[in-house]
Structure 1
C-alpha cells in the first residue's frame, strides 16, 4: 500500500537553476528524516517530483519522482518554478503557462524563485497580486507585468495559493517555509539547524542597494539626478534641483516623481542610506559620524530613516555585514 505524502513538483524548463532544484530535493530529504527522528508520525513526508515538456507541443509530464511507489496518479500539492540562468526574456514560458493555469484552477499552489516569476507571470495569475523577485529585476518585471503589486523589500511573499521568493539563493528560505507549512515549525527549525541556514524571517532589503532609475527619458530630471549624485544629496534644496533641471518647482516635482517613482525627499534618503551602508561595511566611523558624513545633522533622524529603508538599525547592519 502506497504511503501518503505531500508532493512538491519542480519545473525543469530550459536554463532552470539546477542548484535550486537539487538543493530543494536535499533540503526536503533532511526535513523528512528530521520528522521521523522527532516522532512526527502524523506528518506526511514531502515527496519531490520533476516536471518537464520532453517534446515540442507535447504535454508537461513528471520525469522524476523521489517516491515512485507513491500515488502517482494524484496531483502535486505545489509546483515550484526555479529561477532561470539564461535571458529573462527567453521564450520558454508558453509551453508551461497553460499547464500551470490548469494546475492552479484545480486547487494547486504555484511558487516562483527569483527570475522564475517571469514564467509564472505568463500565466496571467499575478494581476493584482503582491509578489516579489530579485531587486535587480524589479523595473523589468514592472514593465512586463504592470498589474502585479511588486514589493522588493520582502524576500518571500505568501498569498496562500501563490508564493514568490526573491533572490537566487532564496530557495533556502522558501524550502524552510514549505517545511514549516507541511511538516511543522519544530521540523523546520531542526532542518535549519542541521543545514546551518537562518530560519525564515530575513528581508531582501537587508541586501539590496538603491539602483537609481536613469533610463526614463526625461533629460531635465536626469540633469538634476546627475547633480544630486555628484554632491552626494547633501544640502540639495528643491530650489537647487529645479534650477538644475531648468523647470518651475511644481513642474519639476511632478516630472521627477513620474520619472523616478520617488519624491525628491525619498530619492535623497535612498542615496544617503546607500552611502551609509558602505561606511558601515568598510569603515570604523561611529554611527553618529556616518550620519554627519552623509548629510544628517540629527543622528536620531538618520537612524530612523536607515531602519525604515533597510529593515535593520545601523548597528545591526554593521554587525551583520561589516567586512
Structure 2
C-alpha cells in the first residue's frame, strides 16, 4: 500500500484535491471488491494547524511530522499570481526535495507544477502545466523541458499534468502504473474520461501581453489586431510607426516574447477558432476572413498551433 501525501497548499484549488481523493477512493474500493488490499493510504499535508477542515474524514498530517510518503501530489493553485503562491508555500520546497531523495514519487496538477519547479527537481526533465501558464513557466524555469501541448508527462518519479480535466488523465496514469490497466479502465468509465487524450493545445487561447509601457510596441500590437486580415509583412504593419523595422522587431520580441510575425499568426488563428466555434461560415470563408489566401498554408499553421485540423476543431467546439 502506498502512503500518499496530498498537499494542502496555500491557495489550493478545491476541485483538484476533490478529484484526487475521489479517484483514489474509487481505486481503493475497486481493489477491495476484488479481494485485494487497498492500494492507497490517503493523507492531507498541512502547512499549519489553522488551515480549513473541508476534508475531515481524511487523515491530516503536519508538514513538521516525521512521515515518509511513497507518492506526493501537489494540487493546482487558484490564483494567477503564481509567484506569490509559490512564495506562500516556500516551506514545502525543502520538504519535497527531502521526500524525493528518500524515494517518493511526486505528481503535480495543473499550475501546481510551479511549486515543483521551484525545488529544482524538474531541471533537465520533461514537464507540462496549464497551457495558458506555459509561457510563465518556461520563463521561470528555463532548465525544464516544457512540453506545453502534453496532457500528462512522466520523467522518472516526477509526473505533471495540464489544466483542469487533465488532472484525471494524470490520476489514471498513476492508477495504471500502480494498480494495472484494468483498474485504470474501470476508473475511466466511472468518471467518463477519454483515456486517449494526450494533447491539450486546442484548449489554449491567445492572450497577448499588454501590461507594459512601451508605446511603440503597443502601436504595433494595435496595428496587427485591427488589420490582421489585410497585413502580410512586417513592413505593412509598421509603415505608420516612427521606427525602423529592426528596432520594432527587437523591442517587440523583448517586450511581448514573440516576434511581430508570430503575433500576427497567433491573432489570425485565434480569429479562425472563434469563427469555427461561433459561425456556420464555409471553410473557404473562414480562411479568407482570418487573413489567409492559401488554404494549404492555413491548415498547416492551424494544425501546428492548435493540435488538430480546423474541421476537427469545429466538430469539437462549435455551439449547437
Fold shared per TM-score above 0.5: yes
Partner residue of 2:125 out of 124, 129, 150: 129
Q: Does the aligned pair in 1 maintain the 2:129–2:161 contact within 8 Å?
A: yes
Q: Residues 149 and 245 of structure 1: is their aligned pair in 2 closer, same or farther, counting only changes over 3 Å?
A: farther
TM, length-normalised to structure 1 = 0.83
Tell me the equivalent position of 2:104.
Answer: 108
User: 2:42 matched to 1:48?
Assistant: yes
Secondary structure of 1:115's match?
helix
Q: Does the aligned pair in 2 maintain the 1:228–1:236 contact within 8 Å?
A: no
User: 2:221 matched to 1:228?
Assistant: no
Provide the rounded CA distance (Å) in 1 between the counterparts of 2:10 and 2:248. Answer: 45
Cα deviation code 1:11-35 (max 9, x no counterpart): 1123322322222122122234445
Provide the rounded CA distance (Å) in 1 between the counterparts of 2:284 and 2:40. Answer: 50
Tell me the equivalent position of 1:119.
Answer: 115
- Residue range with higher mean Cα deviation, 76-85 or 261-270: 261-270
Structure 1 runs (4+) greater than 6 angstroms displaced: none
Provide the rounded CA distance (Å) in 1 between the counterparts of 2:167 and 2:198. Answer: 13
Count residues in correspondence. Answer: 305
Q: Does the aligned pair in 2 maintain the 1:156–1:164 contact within 8 Å?
A: yes
Provide the rounded CA distance (Å) in 2 between the counterparts of 1:74 and 1:98. Answer: 14
User: 2:158 matched to 1:165?
Assistant: no
Tell me the equivalent position of 2:12.
Answer: 16
Query: CA RMSD of the aligned region, Å?
Result: 2.8
Tell me the equivalent position of 1:282.
Answer: 278
Tell me the equivalent position of 1:205.
Answer: 201
Secondary structure of 1:197's match?
coil
Tell me the equivalent position of 2:188.
Answer: 192
Partner residue of 2:76 out of 61, 83, 94: 83
Q: Residues 30 and 19 of structure 1: is their aligned pair in 2 closer, same or farther, counting only changes over 3 Å?
A: same
Gaps of 5+ in 2: 51-56, 61-65
User: 2:174 matched to 1:181?
Assistant: no
Provide the rounded CA distance (Å) in 2 between the counterparts of 1:287 and 1:48. Answer: 51
Cα deviation code 1:211-250 (max 9, x no counterpart): 1123354432321111010112533322122334433333
Secondary structure of 1:8's match?
strand
Q: Does the aligned pair in 1 maintain the 2:6–2:43 contact within 8 Å?
A: yes
Provide the rounded CA distance (Å) in 2 between the counterparts of 1:222 and 1:131. Answer: 32
Tell me the equivalent position of 1:258.
Answer: 254
TM, length-normalised to structure 2 = 0.84
Secondary structure of 1:94's match?
coil
